[in-house]
Amino acid sequence: MIGGGYVGLVSGACLAAFGANVTVIEHDPARLDRLKTGTMPIYEPGLEELVAAQRQAGRLAFSGDLATALQKSRAVFIAVGTPTRRGSGHADLSYVHAAARAIATHAPDGLLIVTKSTVPVGTGRQVAAIVRQARPDLTFHIASNPEFLREGHAIADFMQPDRVIIGLEEQLGAPSTARTLLETLYAPLSGPEGRLLFMGLESAELTKYAANAFLAMKVTFANEMADLCEATGGQIADVTRGMGMDPRIGPHFLTPGPGYGGSCFPKDTQALATSARQAGTPTQLIETTIAANEARKRRLAERILALAGGDITRCTIAVLGLTFKAHTDDMRQAPALTILPLLHEAGATLRAHDPQGMETACTLLPKGITYTATPLQAAEGADMLLVLTEWPTFAALTPGQLAPRMRGRLVLDYRQIWRKDEWLEAGFHYHCLGSAPLP
């Protein structure tokens, strides 16, 4: 498994739990050291225990030495990052290509090379071309196996997936070596009720982007309906409940929020839009989704400035939550990274708390923001409470705990974690998304 990040580490540990012998190859020496000492470089519930158990069982190891690991491997997974290339919407495939070149140098005959990273359509064949060019005589197989796990639920998602998408070069005729090997690796998920879905390489690559783009679009649609509710007196919770009970729509990903973020939706929508433009079939829906999501984060910041009466310089804001969602330390493309700099630049005093994200957030956000050890400390002297992440520890806070610490009485619950009536009864002004604020 090349790459010891969210996907490589979780996939490696889970495939070991399925019975495979896995070596996770990580090229960042600091990260590798941590892995070797059993300290997880990322926060993911249950991961440390799973990794420890699989290492103890002798099925999971960490190394920086791909050459040695490949000599005893029948399959290699590429699970490296594919960020957005600077200055364009393209996926940066430099890590994938570097991994392909390293594999080509050391691959034993008959190796199955699987792309697990999220990559634009055509990348699997590029990987094959890189290997073929370097080693024309090598026999190898190529597959695409995009990963659908969600940070925060990664282990359960991997162990009990809705489906495992596997793209192969050939689908007809007798089961290929690649198919048989992947069925063996995913044996607990195969069988008559199997969740393995085989298709062509291109279809598998597109399935991952199409699924993420569709979800990003669904979130953005809910955000726009929330704005419409606010402007017209509707209640988004009622509207989305009514929509979601239609099985053709479904209830998930319809909760309004401060805009989608994270390491996947922003870059995957960009990459899909770019691939589609290049293919001469632009995806207008996705292009619009990207623009609407960017605008939303800025508009929320402007709304907060307006609530402060235009002069926010004397306003202290307690920010609860920095990560793009709960149960992760991932700060990539978090809405906080757009909203907080705008508030800071306008002169607001910001006091922030996040259970997992502060270590990274303080390197990405402007200097001068105070980070506190608890959410209650963030609320000390605050005029407003701004909820940006739906951490359960925040949902458990009550107006009775917060009121004595705060100077003002304004709550901006942009994750719908609290019950409006409780705050109104305690004398707060309570704003959430998708419901017209009461005075």
Active site residues: 264
Residue 196 bridge partners (DSSP): 164
CA distance 352 to 348: 12
Which residues in the 128-167 window bind ligand NAD by CB under 6 A?
Answer: 147, 149, 151
Contact criterion met (CB below 8 Å) for 162 and 194: no
Query: What's the closest the beta carbon of residue 54 comes to ligand NAD, in angstroms?
Result: 18
Beta strands 164-168 and 140-144: pairing type? antiparallel
Q: Please state the closest distance from residue 203 (CB atom) to ligand NAD, in A.
A: 17
**Site membership for ligand NAD, residue 35 (CB under 6 A):** no
CA–CA gap between residue 245 and residue 224 (Å, rounded): 19
- Closest approach, Cβ 330 to ligand NAD, in A, equals 7
CB atoms within 10 A of CB 129: 12
Q: Please tell me whether residue 2 binds ligand NAD under the rule CB under 6 A.
A: yes
Q: Which amino acid is at 228?
A: L
The answer to whether 204 contacts ligand NAD (rule: CB under 6 A) is: no
354 binds ligand NAD (CB under 6 A): no
Q: How far is the CB of 87 from ligand NAD (least distance, A)?
A: 19
By CB under 6 A, is residue 97 in contact with ligand NAD?
A: no
Q: Judged by CB under 6 A, how many residues of this single chain contact ligand NAD?
A: 27
Helix (H, G, I), strand (E, B) or coil at 316: strand
Q: Give buried/exposed letters for 420-435 (b at 16+ CB in 10 A, else e).
A: beebeeeebbbbbbbb
Is position 31 an interface residue for ligand NAD (rule: CB under 6 A)? yes
Q: Can you spell out the DSSP letters for 369-414?
A: -EE-SSHHHHTTT-SEEEE-S--HHHHT--HHHHGGG-SS-EEEET
Query: What stretch of H or E contains 221?
Result: helix 201-232
Q: Which stretch binds ligand NAD (CB under 6 A): 5-13, 14-22, 169-177, 340-348?
A: 5-13
Q: Is 106 in the site for ligand NAD (CB under 6 A)?
A: no
Smallest distance from ligand NAD to CB 387, Å: 23
Rounded to whole angstroms, how far apart are CA atoms 338 and 21?
Answer: 43
Cα 316 to Cα 189: distance, rounded to the nearest angstrom? 52
What is the maximal distance between C-alpha atoms in the chain? 76
Q: Report if residue 99 touches ligand NAD, rule: CB under 6 A.
A: yes
Smallest distance, ligand NAD to C-beta of residue 64, A: 7
User: Applying CB under 6 A, which part among 92-100, 242-250, 338-346, 389-397 lies near ligand NAD?
Assistant: 92-100
Residue with tokens 């609320």: 379
Nearer to ligand NAD among residue 102 and residue 204 (C-beta): 102
329 interacts with ligand NAD by CB under 6 A? no
One of 117, 269, 316, 333 touching ligand NAD (CB under 6 A): 117
Nearer to ligand NAD, 4 or 89 (CB): 4
Backbone angles phi, psi at 334, to 5 degrees: -65, 140
Single-letter amino acid code for the residue at 375: P
- Residue ranges in 251-270 that form contacts with ligand NAD under rule CB under 6 A: 263-264
123 near ligand NAD, judged by CB under 6 A: no
Residues at the interface with ligand NAD (CB under 6 A): 2-8, 25-28, 31, 79-82, 95, 98-99, 102, 117-118, 147, 149, 151, 263-264
